Amino acid sequence: MNDDQPRRGCQWPMWPHSSRPNHQYCGERKRPESSYCEKHYALSIRNPDEEPSRPFVPRRLAA
C-alpha cells in the first residue's frame, strides 16, 4: 500500500465553525499539491464571491 498519510485527508471544513462545536473536515484523499481533495480544490480556487452566477457579458469594443 502506498497510503502514507491515511489520517490527513482533505482539510475542507464541512461547516462554518460557528455552527458546530466540533471541527470536521471532508477527509477525502487530497491532491498532492493541495490541502484539499479534487472537489474542494476546485471550490477553493473558484471563489463564488468573486464569480457571480450571472453570465459574463463582454464589453463592447470601442470602434
Binding site for Zn ion (CB under 5 A): 10, 12, 26, 28, 37, 40
Smallest separation (angstroms) from Zn ion to the CB of 32: 14
Question: Toward Zn ion, which CB reaches closer, 11 or 21?
Answer: 11
Q: Which residues on neighbouring strands pair with residue 25, listed in sequence order?
A: 13
- Using the minimum distance from each CB to Zn ion, give the nearer residue, 10 or 21: 10
6/37 with CB nearer Zn ion: 37
